[in-house]
Structure 1
Amino acid sequence: MSLKPLTIVIFGATGDLFQKKLAGALFDLHQKKLLPEKTEIVGFSRKPFSHDQFHAFIQNALAARANGKIIEPDEFVGKALYHQGDLNTDESYASLGRFLEERDQSNGVCSDKLFYLAVPPNLYETVFTRLAKSGLAIPCAPGLPDEAQAWSRILVEKPFGNNQKEAARLDRLLGKLFEENQIFRIDHYLAKEAIQNIVSFRFSNGLFEPLWNRKHIERVELKFLEKNDASARGSFYDGVGALRDIGQNHLLQMLALVAMENPGALNADAIRSARRKVLDNVTGGSGAMEKWITKGQYESYRQETGVRPDSDTETYFKIQARV
C-alpha cells in the first residue's frame, strides 16, 4: 500500500492491552497490507527494554495469539522500536519528541503521528496534558518534506473516566488541548464483525425487521462471558471493575444496537443518533437500585497479584434495565 509514512506511538506498550489485543490487530493490518509501507510502531513504557527485547515481547504476544499456527512476523516486528519513559515526567515526553524527530530526519520525511493510549484511565489526564505541553501534537519539525500535510492524532481507549462527571471533565480537557479532528474515542468492541453485522441483520432482513419490536420480543439478554481471570491485570482491574470495564461501554453499545429504532439510513450519523435515543431512554428496574443491580466476585479474586486483600471490586454484575 502506497500511503504517507506513519508512526504509531503506543503509550503503555508493555501492558496487557497491547500484548493481547493491539499487537495482533496491527499484525493483521500488516498482513492485509492496510498499513503504509513505511510504518513504524514505537512502544513507550517504563520497562527498560531494548529494541530487541521489545521485538521478542511482540513475537511472544503474536505466538500466544496464533495458538500453534505458523506465522511469519519478522517483517512486521522489524517495524517496531522502543523508547523507555515515564508518563508522569515532562522530560520523558521531550525525550520521545527528540526520538521521533530523529526518526523523521533519518527517514528524510515527516510521518503522520498516531498516539494510542493503552494505559489505565487514571493516567489519561496526565498524558493529555503532558502530550499537549510537550508539542508532540505538532507532527513534524520544520523543513521536512510533507511537513504542512502531516497530521497527529490521539486515540483514547475505554473506560473513559470513572463516572459521568469525570468523563465530561476529561472530554472538556481534550477539547481544550487538541482539535476535534485530532481526537479518536474508541470502543474496540464495535469493530468486531459480529457487532458490525447487527445493523444490517436487523434492518436489511425482510424476515426479522418487521418482527424486531416489543410486540414480538419479551426480553433480550446481553451476556459477556470471560474465560480469563484477572491474574494478568490485577492492579488495573481492581481499580476499574467489571461494570466500568465492559458494562458502561461494550454492553451499552450492544444494547443500543439491539434496541434502536430504524435509523432511516445506514450511515454513521444516522446510526449514532438512533443509538443515542436508546441510551437516553434506558432506565433501571423498579424499586431501590440494589434490587435491580447484582454484583459479585469470583472466589479467589482477592488472592490475585495486585488486588487488595479487602477488595470489594466486582468481577460479575447483572443489571435489569428497561428501554
Structure 2
Amino acid sequence: MKKKSNLHPTIFVIFGGTGDLNKRKLAPALYNLFTEGYMPEKFSIIGTGRTEFTDKKYQEVILENVNEFSRNGKVKKETWSSFESNIRYCPTDITTPKTFENLKETVEKLQQEFGKETQIIYYLAVAPNFFPLIAECLCKYKLTEDEDNSRIVIEKPFGNDLESAKELNLLLSKIFTEKQIYRIDHYLGKETVQNMMAFRFANSLFEPLWNRNYIEHIQISVTEQLGVGDRGGYYEGAGALRDMIQNHLLQLLCLVGMEAPISFDADEIRDRKVEVLRAMRPFKPEEISSNAVRGQYSKGWVEGKEVPGYRHETGVDPHSNTETFAAVKFFIDNWRWQGIPFYLRTGKRMNQTSSIITIQFKDVPHHIFSSRATETWQQNRLIISIQPEMSIRLQVQAKRPGVKMVLNPVDMVFDYKGTYDTDTPEAYETLLLDAMNGDQTLFMRGDQVEAAWELVMPIINTWESKKSLNFPNYQADSWGPEDAEALIAKDGFHWFTLPLKDK
C-alpha cells in the first residue's frame, strides 16, 4: 500500500449508509482510495440508517459490497483488516430528529480522538425529499458550526424544478456557506470529462479553432440500453429532461462552450460555466415544438431478450406522459458561438449505451479533388467518447495507399487503455477525494443549478401541460423517435454514433 496522504483527519458520515448508492459506489470508492494511499492517516466512515446493525455486522455488509463492486476486485485480507477498523455504524432514523443525538455523540468522540483539525463530511445518499430535514437536523444539533472543517455533499436531483431548487438553495444557505456545499454530478468526475479542460486549455492547437468560424455544429449524446428497471416510481416524477439534460448534458455543454478561465481556481471555472448558461437562448412556448423532441419506449428485443415498454414497467402509470427520450437544440448567444447549434440527446432503451461529444468542423472552402477521389468524403470531426470506451479521436481526410489519389477518413486516436497502464479511477473516487481536499472545481454552484433549471423549465412546463398523443413512439433497441432525426435533419445534419467493438 502507498504512503498515506497529508489530508487532515476526516470523519465521513454517510446518510443512507445501507442504501444502493453506498453499496455500489461510495463504499468501493472509499476503499479504493484507501488502498492507493489517498485517505488520511486518521479517518472514520460512519454509516447511518434505520436498520439496527452492530459495527461488526455493518463491516461485514460493506465487505460484501466492496468485493462485488470495487474495480479492483475482491479485497486483500490484510488491507481490509486495516480499512474495516475505521468503519462504524450509527442507527439514525432521519424522520426522528432525536436519533441525531447518537450521531452527535459519536462524532464528538472521534473529534476528541483525532484532534481539532478534524474535518467532517456529511454525504446525503438518500431520497431528495430528505435533504432539507437532514440539513435542519445537522444545524439543530450543532454539527455544522465549524465552517472551515464541515461540508455537506448532496446528490442529484437538486430540486425537481426551478422553484424547489431555489428553496433548497435558500435553506442550505441559512445553515452552510457556499464553500461548504458540494452539489455532486458524477459525470464531472469521469476521466474523459476532466480531460476536456486539459485538452482545450493545455494545448495551443484547438483553442483558435474552437468557435463559430470553424465549427459547424456540436452534438452531445448520452444513451442507455437499459430501461428504468425498478426505478419506475422515481422516473415517473423525473423523466429524461430532468434526469439527464438539466444536469449531466448541460454540464458537458458548459465544458465545451466555456471561455478560457484565467486560472484553475474552482470559482473561476464555475464562473465561466455559469456564463455559458446565462448566454443560452431561452425558449418561448411557441418555439418548443421546433426545438425539442420527446419520446417514450415501447416493448422490443434487446440482445435477444424481450423487454417491456415503459408503461408496463414496475411503478409506472399505464397511461404515463413521462418522456424516456429527449432531444433539444440549444444556441449560445455570444461572440464565440453565435448561430452554432448544440444538439443534446438522451434516452433509455436505445441501441447502445454510450456518452459521446462530437464537434463537427466546417467543410473546406474549396474542393480541389475529383469526385472519384472523394467518394467517402467526410468533414473533420473531433469525437470525445466518455463511455463505453474512453478516447479522444480526430477524424481527418488522408490518401489511401495506392497509385491513385483516393481519400478516406482516418482517425487519430488518444485511447486511455492504449496509452496508460494504470487503471482509471471511478468518478466517485475523484469526487470524494476532491470533497476531502476542499476542492469544488468539479461540483456545481447554487447559481449554476438555478440557471440550468431556468433554461429547461419552459420545455418541462409545455410537455407536462400537453399530453403526448403518440406515446410510445420508439421501439426498444432503436435510436429513438423519428422526430429526433427530423430535428437535426432539417438543418442538414444527422446524429453521429461511434461503432462499438463488440457490435
Bin the TM-score by the shorter chain: 0.7 to 0.9
With 298-307 and 269-278 compared, the bigger mean Cα shift is at 298-307
Structure-1 residue corresponding to 2:197:
199
Structure-1 residue corresponding to 2:96:
89
Structure-2 residue corresponding to 1:168:
166
**Which of 250, 253, 256 is residue 251 of structure 2 equivalent to?**
253
Task: Compute the displacement of 1:256 (Å).
Answer: 0.8
Instruction: Report the CA distance shift for 1:205/1:68 in structure 2 as closer, same or farther (over 3 A).
Output: closer
For the Cα contact (< 8 Å) 1:16–1:232, is it kept in 2?
no
Structure-2 residue corresponding to 1:294:
293
With 58-67 and 203-212 compared, the bigger mean Cα shift is at 58-67
Q: Which runs of 5+ in 2 are unaligned?
A: 299-307, 333-503
For the Cα contact (< 8 Å) 1:284–1:292, is it kept in 2?
no
Task: Compute the displacement of 1:122 (Å).
Answer: 1.9
Equivalent AA in structure 1 for residue 152 of structure 2: I
**Identical amino acids, percent of aligned pairs:** 40
Aligned partners of 1:39, 1:229: CA distance in 2, in Å?
A: 38
With 194-203 and 289-298 compared, the bigger mean Cα shift is at 289-298
**Which of 29, 36, 44 is residue 25 of structure 1 equivalent to?**
29
Equivalent AA in structure 2 for residue 27 of structure 1: Y
User: Deviation per CA, 1:199-230, whole angstroms, max 9, x where unpaired?
Assistant: 22113323222212112211111111234433
Aligned partners of 2:84, 2:225: CA distance in 1, in Å?
A: 28
**Which of 32, 49, 54 is residue 50 of structure 1 equivalent to?**
54
Instruction: Report the CA distance shift for 1:266/1:131 in structure 2 as closer, same or farther (over 3 A).
Output: closer
For the Cα contact (< 8 Å) 1:222–1:255, is it kept in 2?
yes
Structure-2 residue corresponding to 1:125:
132
Q: Which has the higher helix share?
A: 1
Tell me the secondary structure at the aligned position of residue 40 of structure 2: coil
**Which of 277, 281, 299 is residue 279 of structure 1 equivalent to?**
277
Aligned partners of 1:266, 1:103: CA distance in 2, in Å?
A: 34
Structure-2 residue corresponding to 1:142:
none
Instruction: Report the CA distance shift for 1:68/1:39 in structure 2 as closer, same or farther (over 3 A).
Output: closer
Matches within 5 A, 1:118-267: 118-138=125-145, 151-267=149-265
| Residue 41 (1) aligns with residue 45 (2) | yes
For the Cα contact (< 8 Å) 2:9–2:114, is it kept in 1?
no
Q: Which has the higher strand share?
A: 2
Task: Compute the displacement of 1:67 (Å).
Answer: 6.6
- Please give the TM-score of this superposition, normalised by the length of structure 1: 0.85
Aligned partners of 2:276, 2:43: CA distance in 1, in Å?
A: 40
For the Cα contact (< 8 Å) 2:197–2:255, is it kept in 1?
yes
Task: Compute the displacement of 1:161 (Å).
Answer: 0.9
Aligned partners of 2:236, 2:53: CA distance in 1, in Å?
A: 27
Equivalent AA in structure 1 for residue 203 of structure 2: N
Q: Which has the higher contact order (CA 8 A, sep 6+)?
A: 2
Aligned partners of 2:172, 2:53: CA distance in 1, in Å?
A: 30
| Residue 317 (1) aligns with residue 354 (2) | no
Task: Compute the displacement of 1:170 (Å).
Answer: 1.3
- Please give the TM-score of this superposition, normalised by the length of structure 2: 0.56
Aligned partners of 2:201, 2:280: CA distance in 1, in Å?
A: 22
For the Cα contact (< 8 Å) 1:44–1:85, is it kept in 2?
yes
Structure-2 residue corresponding to 1:5:
9
Task: Compute the displacement of 1:116 (Å).
Answer: 0.7
Task: Compute the displacement of 1:8 (Å).
Answer: 0.5
Tell me the secondary structure at the aligned position of residue 137 of structure 1: coil
The Cα RMSD (Å) is: 2.7
With 7-16 and 231-240 compared, the bigger mean Cα shift is at 231-240
Aligned partners of 1:204, 1:33: CA distance in 2, in Å?
A: 28
Instruction: Report the CA distance shift for 1:238/1:59 in structure 2 as closer, same or farther (over 3 A).
Output: farther
Aligned partners of 1:78, 1:234: CA distance in 2, in Å?
A: 38
Tell me the secondary structure at the aligned position of residue 320 of structure 1: strand
